[in-house]
Chains A and B, each alone.
Chain A
Amino acid sequence: DTEVTQTPKHLVMGMTNKKSLKCEQHMGHRAMYWYKQKAKKPPELMFVYSYEKLSINESVPSRFSPECPNSSLLNLHLHALQPEDSALYLCASSQDPGQGSAEAFFGQGTRLTVV
């Protein structure tokens, strides 16, 4: 199983809503990532979890709150988002944090629209 599964595939939320994005992998990977991708732009790193601990936060606004309940799951909790937060949110995982040679496997993404 070389899949990273993201749910939901599409999400529309109001600016006062609270929602969560979910990501799951069963490859035994110990690093998990959240990326944000705007249209016609490359993915931008948001957060990195290594061995279930937050290791990198790329100065992301607090309205985005990551959580790693266990080594297979990664959540992104959303609250009070702005329309400019509308984007494709990509989850990825890699085998061994800190081993730069481990390639990242990406999920299909969640298309988020904030209205």
Chain B
Amino acid sequence: AQSVTQPDIHITVSEGASLELRCNYSYGATPYLFWYVQSPGQGLQLLLKYFSGDTLVQGIKGFEAEFKRSQSSFNLRKPSVHWSDAAEYFCAVQGGSEKLVFGKGTKLTVNP
């Protein structure tokens, strides 16, 4: 069965600083990988996804993520964080079924 680990529960960055959120997955083959963002009390919005091909994927809102098979990682990055990026970020993995498994999430706080 697939699983996801997000090692950082809470990250605080200053506005304009760069950001990297970590995600490690466990799955026997190449999984399908996703990053979602959730504002308080809201649903989840897909930021980006990796299925195959180029290991650096671009998403919405200036986010990107890099798939590294050797490290079983799919870290999310943004060069310059905006105050509106403050939210909860979830990494998710999907194996051979319809089941999407989420990590525990990383809460991002952005200081002015």
Contact = CB atoms under 8 A, between A and B. Distances in A.
Interface of A: 4, 6, 31, 33, 40-43, 45, 48, 50, 55-56, 88, 90, 92, 94, 97-98, 100-101, 103-109, 111
**Which secondary structure dominates where chain A touches chain B?**
strand
28 contacts: A4-B43, A6-B43, A31-B98, A33-B100, A41-B104, A42-B90, A42-B102, A42-B103, A42-B105, A43-B90, A45-B99, A48-B99, A55-B98, A56-B98, A56-B99, A90-B44, A92-B100, A94-B98, A100-B96, A100-B97, A101-B32, A103-B49, A104-B46, A104-B100, A106-B43, A108-B43, A109-B41, A111-B41
Contact of A100 (B42, B43, B90, B94): B94
B73 to A, nearest CB: 18
B51 interface: yes
Query: Which 7 pairs from chain A and chain B are nearest by CB?
Result: A42-B102, A106-B43, A106-B44, A108-B43, A101-B51, A100-B32, A100-B94
Interface residues of B, number: 25
Given A88-B41, A90-B43, 6 more contacts: A42-B90, A42-B102, A48-B99, A100-B97, A105-B46, A109-B41
Interface of B: 31-32, 34, 36, 41-46, 49, 51, 90, 94-105
B42 A43 contact: no
